[in-house]
Structure 1
Amino acid sequence: MPKRVDHEQRRRQIAAAVWRIAATRGLPAATLREVAAEAGVSMRLVQYYFTTKEQLLVYAFEQGARSAGERMRASFAALGRPPEPVDVVRICLLELLPTDEESLMLARVHAAYYAAALTDAALANADAEDPQQQLENVLATQLRAGQAAGDVPAGIDPALEARGLAALAAGLSSIMLVGGRTAEDAIALVRYHVDRLFPGAAADSWAGSGPDADR
């Protein structure tokens, strides 16, 4: 009986090869031939699933976004309770930092795509919804919820604070990739800003937030 092929799993296998190449050699090196070799499959098979390089790169980008989302959902589940606004803000920011092997890979891939998108319009428009804007919207919503609960000072502007937090996380991620900040330094800076915005938040909300925390 012929072996049944999981086509989506095969696509993810090929996308993972794109990530590895992008993270170590940059996105321009991710040709169909190089991706096939990295994935351990024939170039013909890669072309079966992705008729163009652009289609492949966009799919791999979308898979990276899904993986980041899965990490966040796992962190929320690990709380063992419904997340409060401070939890959502903290987890969203920390998950953007390259503090373990998986997040380091995702951060490097994201940086490779960003660099390539500066000169490639197709990649620049790979995701119709800007991830940075999505993050800002989530953070602003949680800050407003915190204000309604009395946990966040009424005088702050949620939208402006959300933009600042999103920019902080993006900047820290980039600096960490080139060794400019340690994971401990970056987490401490994120904690400073979150504690400033949620002065009444319990200190134990940060338990397990270090780079060696179990997932």
Structure 2
Amino acid sequence: MPRLVDHEQRRREITTAARTVIAAGGLDAATFQAVAAEAGISVRLIQYYFGTKRDLMLATHRAVVEDWGRGFEEALGALGPEASPREVIRAISLGLIPLNDVRHQDNLVFAAFHAANLTGNTVTSEEMMGPPRYLITSFTEQLRRDRPDETDTRALELDAELTVLAVTGISQAILAGGTTRETAVELLDHLLDRVFTGK
């Protein structure tokens, strides 16, 4: 009897290999040959699952986003339904910042996609903006919970966007060696103190 193949698992193995290659050398390094070597499979098999490099890159980007989403769900589940808006935003933000080796690799992958977006190579701005827009919307909702009497919706949106951009900057600083993981947590808490007290 022929062995059944779990196609989703195989696709996952390939995108995981691609993440490793991208984190080490950027999108240009992620050729079918390099990813196949990392995954221990043939180039033809990668071509079977992902017809073009662009298809593979977009699937890899999506895999990182989905992993982050699962991490958010776990963190929020641990907090429970009574979590405050500050606790929710802090938990999500901590899940984004490279505070462990897995998140460090994921942030390197995202940095590579960001660089490709700036140069118009492989991915477009529209394809990259989904996750930050989602975060801004989510943070805005939490700030609205915290400030139910706030009538200036734009102010809430700006605070949410500023928080997302700050978390992104903190993450990039860790990647570049400009700050430590410990200081990153201090910076995040300092930022949230200001956002939630207005001082």
Alignment partners' CA distance in 1, 2:27 and 2:18: 8
Runs of 4+ in 1 over 6 A off after TM superposition: none
Distance 1:134 1:109, change over 3 A: same
Alignment partners' CA distance in 2, 1:48 and 1:74: 33
Where does the alignment leave 5 or more consecutive residues of structure 2 unmatched? Answer: none
Q: Give the aligned partner of residue 135 of structure 1.
A: 135
Aligned length in residues? 196
Asked if 1:113 corresponds to 2:90, the answer is: no
Q: Give the aligned partner of residue 203 of structure 1.
A: none
Alignment partners' CA distance in 2, 1:77 and 1:160: 27
Alignment partners' CA distance in 2, 1:128 and 1:113: 8
Q: Give the aligned partner of residue 192 of structure 1.
A: 190
Cα deviation for residue 58 of structure 1 reads: 0.6
Cα deviation for residue 21 of structure 1 reads: 0.5
Give 1:42's aligned amino acid: S
Q: Give the aligned partner of residue 160 of structure 1.
A: 158
Where does the alignment leave 5 or more consecutive residues of structure 1 unmatched? Answer: 200-215
Give 1:90's aligned amino acid: R
Alignment partners' CA distance in 2, 1:126 and 1:71: 24
Deviation sequence 1:157-196 (CA, Å, 0-9, x none): 2111111111100111111101101111111111112123
Cα deviation for residue 73 of structure 1 reads: 0.9
Cα deviation for residue 111 of structure 1 reads: 0.4
Deviation sequence 1:119-141 (CA, Å, 0-9, x none): 23541257375322221111111
Q: Please, which moves more after superposition, 164-173 or 85-94? A: 85-94
The alignment-based identity, stated in percent, is 36
Distance 1:5 1:69, change over 3 A: same
Alignment partners' CA distance in 2, 1:159 and 1:52: 38
Larger helix fraction of residues: 2
Task: Give the TM-score, by structure 2 length.
Answer: 0.90
**Does the CA contact (< 8 Å) of 1:58 and 1:126 recur in 2?**
no
CA RMSD of aligned residues (A): 2.1
Task: Give the TM-score, by structure 1 length.
Answer: 0.84
Q: Give the aligned partner of residue 205 of structure 1.
A: none
Alignment partner of 1:45: what SS?
helix
Cα deviation for residue 145 of structure 1 reads: 0.8
Query: After superposition, where does 1:26-45 map in structure 2 within 5 Å?
Result: 26-45=26-45
Query: After superposition, where does 1:60-71 map in structure 2 within 5 Å?
Result: 60-71=60-71
**Does the CA contact (< 8 Å) of 1:62 and 1:127 recur in 2?**
no
Query: After superposition, where does 1:75-154 map in structure 2 within 5 Å?
Result: 75-120=75-120, 122-125=122-125, 127=127, 130-148=130-148
Alignment partners' CA distance in 2, 1:190 and 1:92: 11
Give 1:34's aligned amino acid: A
Distance 1:157 1:181, change over 3 A: same
Alignment partners' CA distance in 1, 2:81 and 2:145: 17
Alignment partner of 1:51: what SS?
coil
**Does the CA contact (< 8 Å) of 1:28 and 1:116 recur in 2?**
no
Alignment partners' CA distance in 1, 2:125 and 2:189: 33
Alignment partners' CA distance in 2, 1:180 and 1:18: 27
